[in-house]
Copies of this chain bind each other. A is one copy, B any other.
Amino acid sequence: MPSTHLSFASREAHHAWLVSQAKLPAGFRVGTMRFDFVPREAPKPAKMTLTLIALDQPTPDFAALFTKNALPGAPIIVGRRRLEEATLGAIIVNNKVSNVCAPGGIEASEKICAETARLLKLKPEQILPCSTGVIGWGLPVDAMLGALPEAVGTLKGESILPAAEGIVTTDLYPKIRRAELGGGSIVGIAKGAGMIEPNMATMLVYILTDLAVPRGELRAMLRRAVDATFNTISVDSDTSTSDTVALVSSGKVQGVGAAEFEKALTTVCRDLAEDVVRNGEGVRHVIRVQVQRADSGELARALGKAIVNAPLFKCAVAGNDPNVGRLVQAIGKHVGAFAPATDLSRLKLTMGGIEIFAGGVFQLNPEKETALVAHLKAAELYASVIPKDGIFAAAIHYPPHERCVEIGVDLGSGAGAATVIGGDLTHEYVSENADYRS
């Protein structure tokens, strides 16, 4: 279940709420700088934003998880080394170019770190670099070095909103979630809308806290929280080469309890993960699958993923069509291919709380069909607007509500359970991705 149930009537209302969530924890400052550059690989100019998150003092208490994609970006390779360092002083993020498998990518990343460190009077190995955007392009190092002093010049300790806005690419709106506890706070921001089926972490997530938690505990808590949240979402089954989630404590506020902190951290992660799906490329319905009584937690999660990644079911949801046959197909495909020993004889399925399958057969009638359509329509974030030029675009730039298409899967067998969040497959997704780079 969602930890919050927000709804917004307008982009302005959403923005006002973001501002209310954005207060930085003690000990952090953020700054950004937006500039034009001409990529080596493309004929026309592009825009990049540099986002800097700096600590007042370097901290030993930081954690980060990175993508399991086997062809990761250069910043991921550098970032993994940074985990071995004694302290972290700042995070430097650029959008537009992901620096994945580009010639000289690691050297480029290290140059940005070195200049950031020089300007902040830190060591290069105290800087965590992150990049997101087009895969294959190289970083415009000179243009970035030129922009860095201005990013440093804008550093301020009030709001995380400039950073939440600075790291986006195809996102429709910035994403911020916060928890307040123990006299301090945990504040997280996320970007990511496509290439989202995280495996260890999502696109780019930064969680800052002033609450003092030692490095070892911080890293263990982040691993558990991410596994229960970001690793259970999928927008399009594609796993980014740049996924990163970082958690940094400035240690300014002492005395928070470990259990209390982990609970709040997990809530912030879950809210951000849902935000990422809700703002997923072309997503017009969020689909929440709650699987219970499976033989294992792994099977439960895999079944949930199989459902939210099944293109035909995703299309049916987009059309407010309760085509439950495609839901059964998705379950049967996964079990047949990966878990053939599973007993499906006690399988029960619900949509919007309405029983649709039990005892080996569908449980359908025209009244239920009407109710299912109503459930789908109520969960729609916005209706498709047919474009004159054939390029479908999102009709809204804020999340109007947090309702989901609710799918229940009960295997009537073991103790395994999982909740998986995904989105539908729409014309807006195809329009966004069939001509994204041009």
Using CB atoms and an 8 Å cutoff, list the residues of chain A in contact with chain B. Answer: 41, 43, 67-72, 98, 100-103, 105, 134-136, 194-195, 197, 199, 236-241, 309-312, 315-316, 318-319, 321, 323-326, 328-337, 339-340, 342, 344, 347, 357, 360-362, 364-366, 369, 384, 386-387, 389-390, 392, 425-427, 429-438
Contacts and interface: CB of A to CB of B under 8 A. Distances in A.
A438 B376 CA distance: 15
Given A310-B238, A333-B238, A434-B318, A328 B386 contact: no
Given A105-B361, A312-B238, A135 B329 contact: yes
- Report which residue of A41, A430, A433, A437 has the largest number of chain B beta carbons within 10 angstroms of its beta carbon: A430
Nearest to A331: B71
B321 A436 contact: yes
A195 B312 CA distance: 7
B436 A41 contact: no
Contacts of A333: 69-70, 197, 199, 238-239
A427 B390 contact: yes
Nearest to A200: B336
Contacts of A340: 68, 70
Contact of A330 (B238, B319, B325, B331): B238
B101 A357 contact: yes
B312 A194 contact: yes
Given A98-B325, A100-B328, A336 B67 contact: yes
A315 B392 CA distance: 14
B328 A136 contact: yes
A336 B427 contact: no
8 contacts: A69-B336, A100-B325, A135-B325, A236-B312, A239-B333, A239-B337, A321-B437, A429-B430
A321 B125 CA distance: 38
B69 A433 contact: no
A347 B337 CA distance: 28
A105 B323 CA distance: 18
A324 B435 CA distance: 13
Contact of A329 (B241, B362, B365, B434): B241
A332 B70 contact: yes
B43 A366 contact: yes
A357 B438 CA distance: 21
A362 B369 CA distance: 51
Contact of A241 (B71, B236, B318, B328): B328
Given A43-B366, A238-B329, A329-B195, A71 B344 contact: yes
B328 A135 contact: yes
A328 B41 contact: no
A436 B70 contact: no
Contact of A316 (B70, B310, B337, B433): B433
Contacts of A43: 366
Contacts of A438: 319, 321
Nearest to A69: B332
A429 to B, nearest CB: 8
A143 B225 CA distance: 56
Given A71-B344, A105-B361, A319-B436, 6 more contacts: A70-B340, A71-B332, A135-B324, A136-B323, A311-B429, A427-B431
Nearest to A68: B336
A310 B240 CA distance: 11
Contact of A72 (B199, B332, B437): B332
Contact of A364 (B67, B136, B337): B136
A53 to B, nearest CB: 26
A337 B68 contact: yes
A230 B236 CA distance: 25
B100 A434 contact: no
Of the listed residues A309, A328, A357, the one surrounded by the most CB atoms of chain B closer than 10 A to its CB is A328
A323 B133 CA distance: 12
A204 to B, nearest CB: 16
A200 to B, nearest CB: 9
B361 A101 contact: yes
